[in-house]
């Protein structure tokens, strides 16, 4: 990937002094560099949590943290922290920035990585400007945010806030049969420090939107005020395998047909409700998986999301009721396993207002938003005031090699983060 570095202009907004800016060339170079790590022979980018390729990414990040003069600390779940503190502020709780550097399979270069590298860039810029923070500032790269290799997603930040026991987390079995704890040790990122050792005064995460709203509305900055609740379930439907050509339709116990009915129900139910809920069947596997055999088993996942807890609960209840109907009508059985459940999150109003104020002062249009994706910020919000900053995603595409945000937007978001960090770290 080639990143073109635009010339930076200084906005003056409503104040007389020029606004300070991050080092745009350095930030974009870091994004480009990290984006080369984990590519296969076809050029596809994959850095699954605790994999060899993610180790390479972690090593690169740690090197940059050390060059910036930060104290590097790794906890037992593998979360990486770069901490800037002085003798004068060492007793204060830190302002924390960050995100993650693990990816999905065949990923883009910005998801998560942008937030970590922008956090590092803000700290480097402030140090170069001679800024003296009233409290420490830390940048974090949390383990297994994507949840592709190990479930649940956002695992590192969940453990950090005490939402999952560390021993249980380390014993998590991956999709490839590996144990998370063993893999962290193998790649050299099983730290000795207990998770949660660093309780933030506040947390701010900068991220690409991963949706189309900002680009379509020609808005530079999203001030994220809340985040959808998430319900993940695995459904197993058991039917009876039989010959596809000799078994009449009315005499079948077809697990595949029953599974298909679930997907159609969710689409139609949400359409009728006129709610912002979304539902996705992301994986599905049939047994015996033969073209001429009626499936005896269907195993699939259901991802339900809504920014309102009552609506999310109602959607879960509707799915359970429909499964009972399908069982009765199709002659199958079904079991449901809860994989993850996170309630909707309301972010800190004061930080959201700071984001809006910074955007306005820099002459950038902004709007308040709901995040449809899960982020580490929703976990950290359990223990500290938190908020997120979004920048536009071209065509709303993410989790895809076509994921793209224009350099000017990346720089604008990092400059807004810089403003917010200066305000919070100044004690104002």
Total number of domains constituting the chain: 2
Model confidence at 62: pLDDT above 80: yes
- Which range marks the domain in which residue 114 is found? 8-227+344-425
**Chain-wide mean pLDDT for the chain?**
94
342, 370, 396 - which closes a domain: 342
Asked whether 63 and 122 are in contact (CB, 8 A), the reply is no
> Both 289 and 312 in a single domain?
yes
Q: pLDDT, tens digit, for every residue of 212-252?
A: 999 999 999 999 999 999 999 999 999 999 999 999 999 99
To the nearest 10°, report the CA torsion of 426, 201, 50, 164.
-170
207 and 246 assigned to the same domain: no
C-alpha–C-alpha distance, residues 19 and 363, integer Å: 11
CA distances from 6 to 28, 337, 395, 424 (A): 10, 49, 21, 29
pLDDT given for residue 428 in this prediction: 58
> Which of 321, 342, 363 is the C-terminal boundary of a domain?
342
Beta strand spans in 256-397 (E): 278-280, 284-287, 297-306, 333-342, 345-346, 366-371, 386-391
Whether residue 248 lies inside any domain: the answer is yes
Question: How many CA atoms are closer than 13 Å to the CA of 169, on its beta-carbon side?
Answer: 27
Is residue 279 situated within a structural domain?
yes
What pTM does this model have? 0.85
Which tens digit of pLDDT belongs to each residue from 296-317?
999 999 999 999 999 999 999 9
Q: What is the CATH number of the domain that holds 400?
A: 3.40.630.10
Question: Is 145 among the domain residues?
Answer: yes
* Cα–Cα nearest to 419, from 359, 348, 352: 359
């Amino acid at each position: 990937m080639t990143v073109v570095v635009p010339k930076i202009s200084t906005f003056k907004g409503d104040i007389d002094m020029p606004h300070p800016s991050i080092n745009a060339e350095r930030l974009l170079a870091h994004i480009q560099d990290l984006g080369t790590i984990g590519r296969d022979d076809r050029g596809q980018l994959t850095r699954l949590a605790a994999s060899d390729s993610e180790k390479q990414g972690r090593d690169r990040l740690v090197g940059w943290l050390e060059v910036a003069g930060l104290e590097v600390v790794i906890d037992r779940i593998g979360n990486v922290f770069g901490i800037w503190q002085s003798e004068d502020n060492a007793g204060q709780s830190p302002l924390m920035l960050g995100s993650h550097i693990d990816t999905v399979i065949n990923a883009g270069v910005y998801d998560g990585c942008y937030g970590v590298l922008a956090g590092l860039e803000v700290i480097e810029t402030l140090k170069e400007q001679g800024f003296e923070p009233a409290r420490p500032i830390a940048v974090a790269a949390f383990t297994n945010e994507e949840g592709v290799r190990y479930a649940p997603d956002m695992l590192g930040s969940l453990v950090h806030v005490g939402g999952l026991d560390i021993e249980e987390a380390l014993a998590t079995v991956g999709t490839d049969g590996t144990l998370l704890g063993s893999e962290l040790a193998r790649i050299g990122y099983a730290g000795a420090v207990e998770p949660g050792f660093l309780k933030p005064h506040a947390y701010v995460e900068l991220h690409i939107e991963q949706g189309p709203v900002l680009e379509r509305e020609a808005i530079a900055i999203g001030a994220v005020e809340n985040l959808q609740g998430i319900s993940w379930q695995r459904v197993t439907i058991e039917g009876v395998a039989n010959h596809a050509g000799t078994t009449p339709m009315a005499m079948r116990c077809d697990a595949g047909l029953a599974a298909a009915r679930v997907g159609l129900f969710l689409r139609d139910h949400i359409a009728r409700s006129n709610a912002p809920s979304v539902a996705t069947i992301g994986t599905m596997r049939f047994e015996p998986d033969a073209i001429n055999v009626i499936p005896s088993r269907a195993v699939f996942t259901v991802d339900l999301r809504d920014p309102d807890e009552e609506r999310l609960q109602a959607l879960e209840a509707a799915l359970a009721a429909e499964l009972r109907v399908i069982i009765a009508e199709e002659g199958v059985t079904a079991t449901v396993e809860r994989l993850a459940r996170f309630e909707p999150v309301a972010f800190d109003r004061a930080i959201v207002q700071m984001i809006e104020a910074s955007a306005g002062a820099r002459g950038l249009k902004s709007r308040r938003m709901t995040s449809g994706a899960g982020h580490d910020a929703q976990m950290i919000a359990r223990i500290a005031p938190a908020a997120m900053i979004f920048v536009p995603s071209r065509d709303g595409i993410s989790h895809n090699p076509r994921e793209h945000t224009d350099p000017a937007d990346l720089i604008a978001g990092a400059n807004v983060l810089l403003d917010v960090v200066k305000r919070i770290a100044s004690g104002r």
